[in-house]
A and B are shown apart, each in its own frame.
Chain A
Amino acid sequence: MHLIPIGTVITVQVEVFSILIIASALMIFFLFANRSLQKADPFEKPKGMVLICTILVGFFEKLTTDNMGAKAAKKYAPYIGALALFMVVSNLSGLLGLAQPTANYSVTLTLALISFILIQRTKIKVNGIKGYLHGFIEPFPPFIVMNFFGTVAPLISMSLRLFGNITSGSIIMTLVYTFTGFLSGFIPVIGGFDFVGVALAPILHAYFDVFAGFIQTYIFIMLTTIFIGNELPQE
């Protein structure tokens, strides 16, 4: 965990700058999308930026409607879309040389805490405070320990799953690069440069960074929508 001093009094962790860069890049993307969407004609086939936006919005609306029902999906689909876009870009930002924000447990704990608060708020809104507290004691009082752990478990497991996947991916890649650097030292003349790593690493990057980044984002939003949808009354 690297700390960077600002001035002489404050030190921040280096992932703060990564979050600022990612947020600025996403804002520029949204501004460009807005400009091309204003000029688009709704009656002809979409292409280019309009096509990308149509596919993204349709994907997130379908996912939230499948898990939460149509009424609640209208309220939650924008947050799920923003969360998924931010998480995908920050999981893949290791390929661009940034320090990944989701490789820091503070960031993943915050995101899981937001989902946890949404789940508990839905539960309280549907049952009322008395029903929520009474739900801990059913079916009979000794169950309170298991209900308590069942409530806290999604928070801890979602944050640790995301943190563990991304951080261990970057540690494994560091170890692979160290090993290939050691192997490249045996090449006679040009041994200072890591030639074996350049040939061998892209396949591992494709699994550890790209595949794991997409899958973990999909799992995070699926679990959030499923947990929230479990609390809503069945229709």
Chain B
Amino acid sequence: MDIGQGLVAIGAGLAVMTGLMTGIGQGYAAGKAVEAVGRNPEAENKIRSMLILGDAIAETCAIYGMLIAFLLIFVF
């Protein structure tokens, strides 16, 4: 195993770290959603669908990072 493969592995690990802030952001959004349901229990379905939509859009940062990591591992 030469140093090139080791560097590829380090690069892949660094790329996946985009998931850090995604976790914080989505947890914050879930907290706000729970708060909103507590204030207005009738709008629960609308709040739930908006939460899921916002989560999946915020998830794209983590998905880009995972994609780069997979590309590094399986192509290089």
**Same complex:** yes
Expressed in whole angstroms, the minimum distance between the Cβ of B61 and any Cβ of chain A is 10
Could you tell me the distance between the alpha carbons of A60 and B70 in the complex, rounded to whole angstroms?
35
Expressed in whole angstroms, the minimum distance between the Cβ of B13 and any Cβ of chain A is 16
Count contacts between A and B, CB distance < 8 Å: 30
Expressed in whole angstroms, the minimum distance between the Cβ of A148 and any Cβ of chain B is 21
Which B residue sits closest to A165, measured CB to CB?
B63
Residues of B9-31 at the interface with A, using a CB-CB cut-off of 8 Å, are none
Query: What B residues does A160 contact at CB under 8 A?
Result: 60, 63-64, 67
Among candidates A164, A165, A171, A219, residue contacting B53 with C-beta atoms closer than 8 Å? A219
Could you tell me the distance between the alpha carbons of A165 and B70 in the complex, rounded to whole angstroms?
12
Q: B52 to A164, Cβ gap below 8 A?
A: no
Q: B53 to A168, Cβ gap below 8 A?
A: no
Most buried by A among B52, B53, B67, B74: B67
Let me know if B43 is at the binding interface, CB within 8 A.
no
Q: A157 to B66, Cβ gap below 8 A?
A: no
Could you tell me the distance between the alpha carbons of A164 and B70 in the complex, rounded to whole angstroms?
10
Which B residue sits closest to A223, measured CB to CB?
B57
Closest CB pairs A-B (n = 7) = A164-B63, A164-B67, A161-B60, A219-B56, A215-B56, A168-B66, A171-B70
**Can you report 24 A-B residue pairs in the complex whose CB atoms are below 8 A from each other?**
A160-B60, A160-B63, A160-B64, A160-B67, A161-B63, A163-B67, A164-B60, A164-B63, A164-B64, A164-B66, A164-B67, A167-B67, A167-B70, A168-B66, A168-B67, A168-B70, A171-B70, A171-B74, A215-B52, A216-B56, A218-B53, A219-B53, A219-B56, A222-B53
